[in-house]
């Protein structure tokens, strides 16, 4: 058991902060008590809350963890030039060891900045899952599928199964439901422009058979969106609806060029639009119309995208940018209030992952997925509103401790489950020579 005493607690985006409060984590990793009276808890580890705050752990609803190795690589390009000129050729040289090493570096950054669950899409995803399993973090993981390797057909096994299909099948068989659901596996389509109908049908059938969600990139760039209309006479959202892909708790990353009709489609299917403001601005992809999406009833979550197109896994940057960017675009300071921005990174992210009954807020019976924030820094003083400070002033470096299911995974520059120095050494001595010689 762990007792946090005399601490400020923010239960959720839509609840007021509670000062001089107590929170008790039970031996099962769930929150056993939250209130202003000290509970009976003999033998519990006690954590002083003086000038500290407990907040729900942040949820990164779209990233590519192993792309940490490409931080700062191929700068100054739009998405498709960047992918084809820099990223795809380098990715082709990665192996399982490379992916595992790069994932460890990413997870170290993720945990140190208060993120307790990630939705990851990448190649050789079983190697990512191995590191996620070891780290103790939560994850919704998927192996993105394209039509590059098998343009004339697709099968999950046998002679017509390519490496991506075999990896996707392995990921599901080894890791779906791992550690009582700490890891979940999603089906995945990379995007409309990298795949075709036979693949969409196979993925949809796989998701239906196993009860999985589907993760995909959707209308990230203007050219992607318009070329899809030119090919099929409909938008990517309408096309994926036609093939049943959106019937399976779809997480649609980016959604920058979606239309009002697309928003109605996403809302009708209970899909999530994952907003990636830093990446979308850095690659000059545009401004996702999240205000219109929310008005249409679409669940909007937040993600960093890969560090390759963001340079950071700090979710506090995404929260702040999401809160201010749309005010300027619409010349309306009332848009995306602090509650909405923080909910995107917590409650809405939990819903996107199918975890809304276990995390995203601090409440009795929920998993103790939490970040302990050091409020001593000058940039967090004074506190007229804790939530306002978290949205507009906080940084990932303000996180002192990170807990998942009540297990401390990070504290003040130390990782309990990751050998960060070893990962740095392996990055320099194995990964760099492997990719760049």
pLDDT in tens, 400-416: 999 999 999 999 999 99
How does DSSP classify residue 86? I
CATH-assigned architecture of domain 58-352: Alpha-Beta Barrel (3.20)
Q: How many helices and strands, by DSSP H and E, does the chain display? A: 18, 18
Q: Residues 116, 145: contact at Cβ < 8 Å? A: no
Q: E-assigned strands of 305-405?
A: 370-374, 399-404
| Predicted pLDDT of residue 149 | 58
Please give the angle made by the CA atoms of 328, 334 and 337, to the nearest 5 degrees. Answer: 100
Which of 188, 192, 175 is CA-nearest to residue 228?
192
For residues 145 and 203, the answer to whether their CB atoms sit within 8 Å is yes
Q: How far apart are the first and last CA of the chain?
A: 49
Given the structure tokens 């006479």, which residue do they identify?
233
Question: What is the 8-class DSSP label of residue 57?
Answer: P
Contact call for residues 400 and 361 (beta carbons, < 8 A): no
- Other CB atoms within 10 Å distance of the CB of residue 208: 14
**CB contact at 8 A, 9 and 20:** no
CATH number of 2-56+361-415: 2.30.40.10
Type and span of the H or E element at 31: strand 31-35
Task: Show me where the domains of the chain are located.
Answer: 2-56+361-415, 58-352
- In this prediction, residue 156 carries a pLDDT of 77
Q: Give the residue among 12, 30, 37, 10 at the shortest CA–CA distance from 373.
A: 10
Q: Which of 7, 112, 9 lies closest to 364 in space, CA to CA? A: 9
Report the pLDDT value the prediction gives residue 150, as an integer from 0 to 100.
57
The list of the chain residues with pLDDT below 50 reads none
Helix axes 125-135, 163-175, angle to 10 degrees: 30
How far apart CA 186 and CA 176 sit, in angstroms, is 8
Q: Same topology for domains 2-56+361-415 and 58-352, yes or no?
A: no
Whether residue 354 contacts residue 184, with contact meaning beta carbons closer than 8 Å, is answered with: yes
Q: What is the DSSP letter of 265?
A: H
What pTM value is reported for the model? 0.96
Quick check: 337 and 387 in contact, CB under 8 A?
Answer: no
CA 176 – CA 184 distance, rounded (Å): 5
The 10 Å CB-count burial string (b at 16+, else e) for 372-390 is: bbbbeeeebeebeebbebb
């Amino acid at each position: 058991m762990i007792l946090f005493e005399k601490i400020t607690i923010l239960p959720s985006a839509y609840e007021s902060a509670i000062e001089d409060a107590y929170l008790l984590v039970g031996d099962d990793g769930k929150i056993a008590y939250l209130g202003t009276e000290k509970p009976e808890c003999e033998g519990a580890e006690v954590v002083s809350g003086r000038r500290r705050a407990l907040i729900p752990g942040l949820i990164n609803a779209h990233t590519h963890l192993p792309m940490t190795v490409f931080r700062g690589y191929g700068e100054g390009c739009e998405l498709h030039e960047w992918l084809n000129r820099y990223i795809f050729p380098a990715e082709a040289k990665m192996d399982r060891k490379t992916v595992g090493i790069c994932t460890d570096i990413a997870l170290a950054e993720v945990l140190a900045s208060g993120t307790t669950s990630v939705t990851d899409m990448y190649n050789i995803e079983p190697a990512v899952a191995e590191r996620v399993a070891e780290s103790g973090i939560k994850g919704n993981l998927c192996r993105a599928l394209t039509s590059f390797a098998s343009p004339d057909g697709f099968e999950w096994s046998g002679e017509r199964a390519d490496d991506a299909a075999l990896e996707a099948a392995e990921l599901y068989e080894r890791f779906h439901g791992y550690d009582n659901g700490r890891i979940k596996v999603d089906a995945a389509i990379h995007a409309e422009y990298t795949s075709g109908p036979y693949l969409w049908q196979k993925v949809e059938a796989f998701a239906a058979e196993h009860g999985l969600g589907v993760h995909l990139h959707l209308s990230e760039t203007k050219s992607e969106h318009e070329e899809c209309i030119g090919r099929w006479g409909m938008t990517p959202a309408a096309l994926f609806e036609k093939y049943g892909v959106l019937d399976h708790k779809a997480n649609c990353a980016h959604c920058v060029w979606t239309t009002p009709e697309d928003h109605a489609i996403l809302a009708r299917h209970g899909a999530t639009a994952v907003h990636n403001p830093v990446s979308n601005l850095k690659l000059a992809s545009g401004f996702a119309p999240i205000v219109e999406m929310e008005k249409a009833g679409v669940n909007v979550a937040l993600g960093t995208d890969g560090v390759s197109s963001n340079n950071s896994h700090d979710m506090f940057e995404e929260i702040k940018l999401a809160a201010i960017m749309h005010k300027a675009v619409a010349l309306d300071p009332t848009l995306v209030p602090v509650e909405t921005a923080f909910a995107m990174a917590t409650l809405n992210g939990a819903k996107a992952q199918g975890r809304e009954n276990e995390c995203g807020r601090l409440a009795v019976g929920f998993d103790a997925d939490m970040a302990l924030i050091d409020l001593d820094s000058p940039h967090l003083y004074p506190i007229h509103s804790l939530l306002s400070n978290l949205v507009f002033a906080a940084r990932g470096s303000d996180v002192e401790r990170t807990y998942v299911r009540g297990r401390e995974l990070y504290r003040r520059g130390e990782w309990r489950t990751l050998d960060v120095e070893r990962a740095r050494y392996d990055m320099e001595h194995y990964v760099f020579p492997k990719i760049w010689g």
